[in-house]
Chains A and B, each alone.
Chain A
């Protein structure tokens, strides 16, 4: 599934999570697909089988928190998708899902 934010029809500002009212005051939005970005930081909490988490700077300039599906590193270009309720990122161009 595609992760989506909002794009304001009046001023063009993009937001994730979706905005209810734009900073410009508009309530008119288009759905804005969020599909590509770059890994800014990562951490894997300690204890048991914990996921690798990343802050990803999206093409639109948002920063989102995602779970790594596969090997990523700081600075990596990634593709972003929503799997059920989870936001996942994987190396752009990778064909294999090496598990979450």
Chain B
């Protein structure tokens, strides 16, 4: 049985949320708009998956209750930036096994300044015990060091990362939902305020309040243009935090997915690669075998100019914004939008196959949850 994504929705991203904004409210707004976009009745929904870092003390079942949903299938997801792909895969399984007929997948966050700062130091016990005492300040320092390692290994300069970041900003300029749309030149990137060298403010996604959602049903239940889910593959704790962080874990998952579907990243017309940091995007390009001879420097210097490469066409989290774990769904909703032909000024003509990755849960030095999904226009 095949499954399909038939609707997407969101709670608009904002850098300056009004005083009465709540995480619950954002999740409800996104879910409601996705179900409306799917053309379903609210009462059709019988499955729900939720990911959020600012929902406590509430959980998915509270969300169900506050949204008036009585369900046969429910999931609380805690794999951070891999949550979107994880929940898509879980929703597909729920439908394939008959646990649910229509699943809403939703993720989003609303942080106060205090809750965001506390979040970084107590993310998990290893962070609390081994990183917070260093006054490490959060994941920027960790990925700064991974970036400098990547620069050494691949002969990259800051301008190479800049080319990716500038390209994503150019995509964002064509996305009315992106929070940062104003033009950025390579010079702007190189002169940006440092955060943790070699990273600057433009290497870190802007934190917003917001939420994203999509609806999954059996393909047999679709009546209109939709997006078929070809498959997903995930990997959790691939290497016990023993590596450099440059092997994101996607390579094996991509291989498994290619074997199962006959489709690989190179076949895709549009890609959403999880972009918490530019280095993570570049690492995934290598893991997905998209970089000839693994020559990342040449790739960066030739492929990103003028939006010649259909990557993170929403602008990605780096320019569209990171609504906490909502960022893990941004890639899914963007690829779906592209495959449905609804991407407006940033539409990739004739987009038929799309790939989405997830990456998240920095357990100690880098993300331990990763995965990817392949989607097809139908």
Contacts and interface: CB of A to CB of B under 8 A. Distances in A.
A53 B133 contact: no
A95 interface: no
8 contacts: A40-B145, A41-B145, A41-B149, A62-B242, A63-B241, A65-B130, A65-B136, A65-B365
B196 interface: yes
Interface in B141-164: 141-142, 144-146, 148-149
A40 B149 CA distance: 8
Given A41-B145, A45-B140, A51-B134, A63 B197 contact: no
The 4 closest A-B pairs by CB, nearest first: A41-B145, A85-B133, A43-B144, A45-B196
Interface in A21-78: 23, 40-46, 50-51, 53-55, 61-67
A79 interface: no
Interface in B121-146: 126, 129-131, 133-137, 140-142, 144-146
A15 interface: yes
B236 interface: no
A45 B141 contact: yes
Contacts of A53: 134, 136, 141, 145
A44 B197 contact: yes
Of A41, A42, A86, the most chain B CB neighbours within 10 A belong to: A41
B194 interface: yes
A44 B244 CA distance: 19
Chain A binding surface, main DSSP class: strand
B151 to A, nearest CB: 10
Contacts of B241: 63
B240 A17 contact: no
Q: How large is the interface on B (under 10, 10 to 19, 20 to 34, 35 or more residues)?
A: 20 to 34
Interface of A: 15, 17, 23, 40-46, 50-51, 53-55, 61-67, 84-87
A23 B366 CA distance: 19
Interface in B353-377: 364-365
Contacts of A86: 133-134
A63 B137 contact: no
A18 to B, nearest CB: 10
Contact of B244 (A50, A54, A63, A67): A63
Contact of B365 (A15, A23, A63, A85): A63
A46 B136 contact: no
Nearest to B128: A85
A50 B135 contact: yes
B278 to A, nearest CB: 15
Of A15, A17, A43, A44, the most chain B CB neighbours within 10 A belong to: A43
Nearest to A85: B133
B149 A17 contact: no
